[in-house]
Chains A and B, each alone.
Chain A
Amino acid sequence: MDTLNLLLQGFITAATPINLLWAFVGCMIGTAVGVLPGIGPAVAVAMLLPITVKVEATASMIFFGGIYYGAMYGGSTTSILLNTPGEAGSMVTAMEGNKMAKNGRAGAALATAAIGSFVAGTIATVLVTFFAPLVAEYAVRLGPPEYFMLMVLAFTTVSAVLGKSTLRGMVALFVGLAMGLIGIDQITGQARYTAGVPELMDGIEVVLIAVGLFAVGEALYNVMYEGRVDETQNRLTSTHMTKEEWKRSWPAWLRATFIGFPFGTVPAGGSEIPTFLSYAAEKKLSKHKEEFGTTGAIEGVAGPEAANNAAITATLIPLLTLGIPTSNTTAILLGAFQNYGIQPGPQLFDTNGALVWALIASMYIGNVMLLILNLPLVGLWVKLLNIPKSYLYAGILVFSTLGVYGMRQSAFDLVLLYAIGLLGVVMRRFDFPAAPVVVGMILGPLAEAQMRNAVSIGEGKWSIFFERPGSLTLMVIVVAVLIIPRVLRRWAARKAAAEAGTAPA
């Protein structure tokens, strides 16, 4: 009952006209960002981060939250109509949804994606409402060794699971950690890697890295390699679902919500695994298997899209209760909290309860707003796709300047932004994942502080990490995450080889 009371308080804060307006504007910008190719929610939030100077914390968190889930709704539109998934999570939607759109069922695909997102988002928000305080209560008992191992777990999963190559994932992660080292050491106050440049004393802003890698890098990559790529757009049809389509969609939505949610809550990140799992489950259970990959099966859109949304919503649990970001966007959100001097973590529910509950309440409100913004108005959003690419990217560059320059008023940062953009191009060209850089950069200094505190608690002995059951368990999980996929792959390869060997040549 206590939770409900707190949630009610949250609704009272979130439903003030000014906060409703922020939520609405956030959802609008988020949807636009999702629809437009070239920028994702992480970059949009990063570019708008300067508003934290002036706007109070609750309002701006509601605003950023709106952008975050708005982008998920908008992303499905582009995937279905253009077959260009903006991020990994909408890849499956693009596969199946685009097949449906090619067969004249774009409207139904868009509708099941939007309603599925609503259903999954709402259920996931209910789960966040009830689970987050429990997790926070438990997390208070974690000491530095457990915290450090949790962060190592986040590092391992983000670099080893995302992308195909563990080696390139590790490079990305450690480049991010190296960036995080620049500036004043938190514990002894010593300057590291500043090379005497005063601008580097405060460290590099996460915003600069995110905007550089994702926005400037994307624009430069586009102008270098994708100038002549022509995109064909599918025709939009009425967003009406038949009775049969409803009947096939809703079990998929529900199943996918419960597949997606757990993946968001563990500090592992990545919405591609749950979306693929949901796709596989729907394909297996469907009575219309022949439609998958041919004419497009509605379950194949409904499930992954719902799984994606549930996972995204659930990433707020590790962010709010542990202070551990598991996606690019939550990493930037952590940066936004830090701008207000708020450190998300187990104490957040006590110290900034009003803010947290208003944020959670605004997620319920935002989901309803997004459903309204996306179903009847989808035609309007699609018009955004008519902006010529040259103007779109030039505009993105102007906004990148705003986001980066607005933070510190330093022209040096703009040169650095360009350099990071070049790094982004090389990384994208040679298939290095970008997310580990951002996560490593923001989580690195926090992990370092926890590690040094842990070793001090152990009076200089590293055995502290083995002696405590919590941290030992986490260490075992880390090792498992590193080893199990390799063993499975080798086993599958051996099995395939054996089968090929016994088969008649």
Chain B
Amino acid sequence: MTQHSSRSKPLQTLIGVGIVVLAGLLAWGASSVSSEAGYGGVGPNFLPWVVSAVLLICGILCVVHALTGGFRDLEEGSGDERAHWKGFVWVSAGLLLNALLITTLGFILSCALCFVLSVRGFKSSEGELDLRLNAWIKDSAIGIAVAAPVYWMFTQLLAINLPGLTNTGWL
């Protein structure tokens, strides 16, 4: 029986440290905001300082909790004790390639690619990764069948700007 990853002391400490670092970044940013307050007496840098101070306290408390018996009242995240990284890489690739290619490939093809790669990821985490050509073709077809009507509805009916592969508005 391995320990649930959300109970891991190093990970919890890391999160606490992350919050402290975030507080530090916010404070650094706050120092460059002017304190010019006009009539009010409270300038635009007031809330940034409050937020960074509270986050600093919270972050330190999280670290203390992590080191002394772990986060309090923690409800373990559902599912497996360990992450399935292979599936995560597939889905991440789908999302990031989509961001990279959407303006060049257009909405339909780029989203279909994201769809296909995400399906690979979920299948992989279910232990049924299917890399045969047939499955790629089938999922690409489904991906296009999902993205294309959405694209047409939003660009043709609602006149919302989405990038296309051509300028016709139909692809």
Residues of chain A within 8 A (CB-CB) of B36 are: 188
In the assembled complex, B69 has its CB within 8 A of some CB on chain A: no
Q: Are A401 and B102 in contact (CB under 8 A)?
A: yes
Our pick among A164, A188, A411 for the contact of B44 (Cβ within 8 Å) is: A188
Q: Given A394-B119, A411-B103, is A170 in contact with B75 using a C-beta cutoff of 8 Å?
A: no
Q: Are A178 and B95 in contact (CB under 8 A)?
A: no
Q: Are A54 and B77 in contact (CB under 8 A)?
A: no
In Å, the complex CA distance between A415 and B52 comes to: 25
Which among A247-255, A267-275, A314-322, A447-455 touches the partner chain? A447-455
Q: Are B43 and A188 in contact (CB under 8 A)?
A: yes
Query: In the assembled complex, how far is the CB of residue B55 from the closest CB belonging to chain A, in whole angstroms?
Result: 5
Residues of chain A within 8 A (CB-CB) of B15 are: 426, 430
Q: Are B74 and A431 in contact (CB under 8 A)?
A: yes
Chain B residues 29 to 49 lying within 8 A of chain A, measured CB to CB, are 29, 33-34, 36-44, 46-48
Residues of chain A within 8 A (CB-CB) of B160 are: 50-51, 53-54, 406
What class of interface size applies to chain A in its complex with B? 35 or more
What class of interface size applies to chain B in its complex with A? 35 or more
Chain B residues 56 to 100 lying within 8 A of chain A, measured CB to CB, are 58-59, 61-62, 65, 71-80, 83-85, 87-88, 90-92, 94-96, 98-100
Query: In the assembled complex, how far is the CB of residue B72 from the closest CB belonging to chain A, in whole angstroms?
Result: 6
Q: Are B41 and A428 in contact (CB under 8 A)?
A: no
Our pick among A193, A398, A430 for the contact of B111 (Cβ within 8 Å) is: A398
In the assembled complex, B133 has its CB within 8 A of some CB on chain A: no
Residues of chain A within 8 A (CB-CB) of B43 are: 188
Chain A residues 205 to 227 lying within 8 A of chain B, measured CB to CB, are 216, 219-227
Q: Are B158 and A51 in contact (CB under 8 A)?
A: yes
In Å, the complex CA distance between A138 and B84 comes to: 54
Q: Are B96 and A167 in contact (CB under 8 A)?
A: no
Residues of chain B within 8 A (CB-CB) of A226 are: 78-80, 125
Which among A236-244, A325-333, A385-393, A492-500 touches the partner chain? A385-393
Please list the residues of chain A having a beta carbon within 8 angstroms of any beta carbon in chain B: 50-51, 53-55, 164-165, 167-168, 170-171, 174-175, 177-178, 181, 185, 187-188, 190, 192-193, 216, 219-229, 389-391, 393-395, 397-399, 401-402, 405-406, 409, 411, 414-415, 417-418, 421, 426, 428-431, 444, 448, 451-453, 455-456, 459-461
Please list the residues of chain B having a beta carbon within 8 angstroms of any beta carbon in chain A: 5-6, 11-12, 15, 19, 22, 26, 29, 33-34, 36-44, 46-48, 51-52, 54-55, 58-59, 61-62, 65, 71-80, 83-85, 87-88, 90-92, 94-96, 98-100, 102-103, 107, 111, 114-116, 118-119, 121-127, 142-143, 146-147, 150, 154, 158-163
25 pairs across A/B with beta carbons < 8 Å? A54-B159, A167-B62, A181-B47, A188-B34, A188-B38, A193-B26, A221-B79, A222-B122, A222-B125, A223-B121, A224-B85, A226-B125, A227-B125, A390-B126, A391-B142, A394-B119, A402-B107, A402-B162, A405-B162, A418-B96, A430-B6, A430-B77, A431-B74, A431-B77, A456-B39
Given A225-B79, A397-B114; 4 other pairs, CB 8 A cutoff:
A181-B48, A192-B33, A402-B150, A402-B162
